[in-house]
Structure 1
Amino acid sequence: MEVRPTAVAGRFYFADANQLHQHLTQLLSLYNEVAKLDDNHPLSGLIVPHAGFIFSGSTAAAAYSLLKDTKNQFKRVLLVGPNHRVAFHGCALPKHRSFSTPLGNIPLDTRAIEHLVNDPHCHYNDHAHAEEHCLEVQLPFLQHCLSDFELIPLLTGTVDPIDVAHLIEPYWDDTTLLVISSDLSHFHPYEECDDIDTKSCNKIEAGKPLTSKEACGYLGINAANKLIKQQRCQLKRLSRTNSGDSPHGDRNKVVGYVSYAISR
């Protein structure tokens, strides 16, 4: 199949293009006063949550609002997230040529993907991508905030974060935005979630590795943190919430969210 169709439009975000555009505009308008980064350290990457927009959209928007002043800088997005549905070893890439959302199709960087699958830690796996939401929910934000760009969508399975870091590094250049998709703790009462996520964010900011109990996308976060340390990047926390902060959320069983900016 040339195009990967949407899997979660109508559930995680609006399936109607006009409604989706309006909702994205509304979420991003919460951050009209964009957080400023050091002029000497331009934006290079984001860590963002991947729940339904009514739960984590505002936290993600805190990060995507930073693209307002850099929308023409990035010609490619390297998007990394955890598999939720299909077990596999290594990292999974799609054979598709584009990914679809209600806002249109995003072309994949097929040349880069062809090079990546030559690595022993990568393989083609359309089945893993077919129903996965963690990458898809980032796409409308990216389409809304960036000009034309190509996409490298990388799903992590059972793999060492050091190997993920080695995969990412050659493709993370000045015109490539690295986006790590991850939620934090899952299904604890509100106060317990807040305590766990506070400690997890302290670990992220100290460059200490997370576990799967602290963040579903811990492999991507840990890999990014290795590169952040190696390349002397800066990490700036932008927003931390959980699903209990949403009027639609159950405070007895919440999921934590955080967003960060990575700058060189």
Structure 2
Amino acid sequence: MLLSLYNCPKLFLFVCLFLSSSSSTSSNMEKVRRASHAGSWYTDNPKKLSEELEGWLGASGLSKSSDVRGVIAPHAGYSYSGRAAAYAFANIDPKNISRVFLLGPSHHYYTPKCALSTATVYKTPIGDLPIDLEVIEELKATGKFELMDIRVDEAEHSMEMHLPYLAKVFEGHQVKVVPILVGALNAENEALFGQLLAKYVDDPNNFFSVSSDFCHWGSRFNYMHYDKKHGAIYKSIEALDRMGMDIIETGDPDAFKQYLSEYDNTICGRHPISVFLHMLRNCSTKIKIKFLRYEQSSQCKSTRDSSVSYASAAGKVDA
């Protein structure tokens, strides 16, 4: 005859504790970051998303290159920046890459440091990307990084907007990601994190995806720099952005810092870009950045207008 648990309080308590323990162990094994911006910033329909990305990658006309070791790409909604971003991601040859370091700015959460994801997997509508927990632990051990709460992680779009492209490019290939939220770093911390991460550049199995939009112009962004010598406002914005892009291409983080100090261009990924430039300065591998595409969300012609600029670049081994 079966023993009723309710008639045996000690046994009932043991079973409850066991089930609670099993559930906790199971949930700790996988910590998922949802594709929280799917369905708003980009489609959550897997077939449609896959077709969109394939179309943009193909339309770029670019070939994959094993010499390309990093990209700078925008992170706006795909209806705005999806096409421009393809000019970065189309360069990636996935064959020898097993790890992608993802550097994105923080839009909603303040930290003067860099923060690591606490997730074990990043979801996308077209495939999941596992986190490289070994490298996360290695970085945590330096004592220099914060840990990012899953709610902060899911609220941030700057890294998520790179994920579907990475999932598409690495389709059929095993790859892990190392997401790093780059906070409001001062110049000293930009250099510090650049030096700390530089050694990873020298491993040819590592790739770097740096997330940034360029100038946010208009009264709603509280930025309306206008040099009339360039003509229309949108042409002045482009001249300002291209000045910054040219400096980034030199690979000089100090010159980039000076440019930002002088013009205060609202490049939201200024800190991830600066960290990346310091990484390239401190590694042994010589990598040259080249911008391949520039677009604006609209052409500003009056002070009532506003726009955001998008620029895509590839960082290639310079023999």
**Which residue, out of 135, 149, 163, partners 2:192?**
163
1: distance between equivalents of 2:269 and 2:84? 16
Q: 2:234 aligns with which of 184, 190, 195?
A: 190
1:208-247 alignment runs, 5 A limit: 208-210=255-257, 211=260, 213-230=265-282, 231-244=285-298
Q: Quick check: 1:190–1:253 contact (8 Å CA) kept in 2?
A: no
Q: Are the aligned partners of 1:161 and 1:223 in contact in 2 as well (CA < 8 Å)?
A: yes
Identify the residue that residue 60 of structure 1 maps to in structure 2.
85
Count of residue pairs the alignment pairs up: 254
Q: 2:126 aligns with which of 103, 107, 117?
A: 103
Q: Identify the structure with the greater helix proportion.
A: 2
Match of residue 204 from structure 2 = 174
- Paired residue for 1:148, among 143, 149, 174? 174
Q: What RMSD, in angstroms, separates the aligned Cα atoms of the two structures?
A: 2.1
Q: Partner of 1:14: helix, strand, or coil?
A: coil
Aligned equivalents of 1:215, 1:167: Cα separation in 2 = 23
Query: What CA distance in whole angstroms lies between the structure 2 residues aligned with 1:36 and 1:114?
Result: 31
The residue type equivalent to 1:34 in the other structure is L
With a CA cutoff of 8 Å and minimum separation of 6, indicate the structure with the bigger relative contact order: 1
Deviating more after overlay: 149-158 vs 223-232: 223-232
- Structure 1: gaps (5+ residues): 246-250
Structure 1, residues 48-91: CA drift from partner, whole Å, max 9, x if none?
A: 11111111111110111112xx2211111000010001112211
Instruction: Label 1:213 to 1:119 Cα distance change in 2 as closer, same or farther (>3 A).
Output: farther
* Cα deviation digits, residues 22-43 of structure 1 (max 9, x gap): 1101111212x32586x8xx11
Corresponding residue for 1:204?
Answer: 248
5+ residue gaps, structure 2: 1-26, 219-232
Aligned to 2:52: 23
**Contact 1:209–1:222 (Cα < 8 Å) also in 2:** yes
Aligned 8 A contact 1:82 1:157 in 2? yes
Fraction of identical pairs, as percent: 27
Q: What is the distance in 2 between the residues matched to 1:175 and 1:53?
A: 28
Q: Which amino acid aligns with 1:252?
A: D
Contact 2:198–2:280 (Cα < 8 Å) also in 1: no
1:256 aligns with 2:296: no
Alpha-carbon distance in 2 for matches of 1:115, 1:226? 20
- Give the equivalent residue in structure 2 for 1:47: 72
Could you list the per-position Cα deviations for residues 184-229 of structure 1 after superposition, in whole angstroms to 9, with x for gaps in the alignment? 1113453342122122112212322243634111111112222334
> What does residue 62 of structure 2 align with?
34
Higher strand share: 1
Q: How big is the shift at 1:166?
A: 2.2
Q: Which amino acid aligns with 1:152?
A: V
How big is each residue's C-alpha offset from its partner over 1:113-170, in whole Å with a ceiling of 9 and x where there is no partner?
Answer: 0111122320211243121000001010001011220000000113221122123223
**1:129 match:** 153
Contact 2:293 2:311 in 1 (8 A): yes
2-side partners of 1:83 and 1:72: how far apart?
31
Q: Which letter does structure 2 place at the counterpart of 1:139? A: L
Distance in 2 between residues matched to 1:213 and 1:164, nearest whole Å = 22
TM-score, L = length of structure 1: 0.89
- Alignment correspondent of 1:248: none
Aligned residue type for 1:209:
F
What is the 5 A alignment of 1:81-92? 81-92=104-115
Return closer, same or farther for 1:204/1:214 CA change in 2, 3 Å cut-off: farther
Point out the structure with max Rg over C-alpha.
2
Q: Distance in 2 between matches of 1:108 and 1:101?
A: 13
3-state DSSP of counterpart to 1:6: coil
